[in-house]
Amino acid sequence: MEIPIKPPDGGNPGEDPDQEQRQAKMERLASEYISRSCQKLFWEEVREAMIDMPPTVCFSRKIGVGSLDLARIMAPKIGYRVIDREIIEFIAEKTRVDPKYVEIFDESHPGYIKAFWNRFSGERSFHLSGYSRNLFAAFFFLATSEPTIFVGRGAHLVLPREKVFAVRCISSKPYRVERLSRTLSVSAKEAEGVLEQADSEQRRFYSSVYQRSYASADEFDVVINFDYLTAPDQIADILVRMFVLRFGIRPGSDNVLAAQDGF
């Protein structure tokens, strides 16, 4: 079950001044990501602001490969929540913009990026730069508020790398077409058309938001090819083992359920 996400409560003034200062700093850093992410000092500031961030799992995926299902299987094994489309509601609530407008810029909503804002008269507009800034801020806030598995949208590129377990999920196009055809109950030809559009929009998303044209394997701790690894439950168990080894988490600790005491 996915947990509804709300922006962090502001609390009473002076209730936790250190936390308030860190949140304010995260807001500022989110707005500076594009211009400063190549600077060492920037990442030092991010680490300082996110000192309370627990080890975080970030899935990167080709659309339709099945990474969300895998994340949902892995989550209860380590006591984490899964954040996928909930981040849209987070940004919408934070910016007081209708979620349907936030979706226009989202990587998982192919085709909408071509829509024109002015067709919605009287509605508050939202721009890509605003989406990017609020997306980065959402990553910062959500990663520090509760142990989290992020699915998609480049979270692994924004969060402090030493606290991220980054997983890339890939497969051949025929595998994705067959899976999407089965999931949507459409023909293979229709599924292929949907994927072609989704892939195009995902490339546009990463080019616009991160100035990247592809996901390099060296960005990740592990790359999973679903053409050859086909048992999600077993894959999730392997990922949990790797996650525990990556961060030296003691089985049965606050972040890893006691059920994993076989490690």
- pLDDT tens over the chain, length 263 residues: 333 334 444 444 345 566 677 677 777 877 777 677 777 787 787 777 778 889 999 999 988 899 999 999 999 999 999 998 877 777 667 655 554 544 544 444 433 333 333 333 333 333 446 677 778 888 888 898 899 999 988 999 989 999 999 999 999 999 999 998 998 899 999 999 989 988 888 888 888 888 887 888 889 999 999 999 989 999 999 999 999 999 987 644 555 543 344 44
Residue 133, pLDDT score: 78
Chain Cα centroid distance, residue 193 = 25
Q: Which of 58, 51, 27, 23 is nearest to 134 (CA)?
A: 27
| Phi-psi label, residue 146: left if phi above 0, alpha if psi -120 to 50, beta otherwise | beta
| Phi-psi label, residue 66: left if phi above 0, alpha if psi -120 to 50, beta otherwise | left
Q: What is the pTM of this model?
A: 0.74
CB 69 within 8 A of CB 175: no
For the chain, domains (ranges, CATH) are: 51-255 (3.40.50.300)
The backbone torsions φ and ψ at residue 16, rounded to the nearest 5 degrees and listed phi first, read: -145, 80
| Phi-psi label, residue 211: left if phi above 0, alpha if psi -120 to 50, beta otherwise | left
Residue 95, pLDDT score: 58
Q: Classify residue 145 by burial, with Cβ atoms within 10 Å: 0-12, 13-18, 19+.
A: middle
Between the alpha carbon of residue 37 and those of residues 40, 49, 53, 263, the distances in Å are 8, 15, 19, 37
Measure the CA dihedral 45/204/229/87, to 10°: 50
Residue 232, pLDDT score: 94
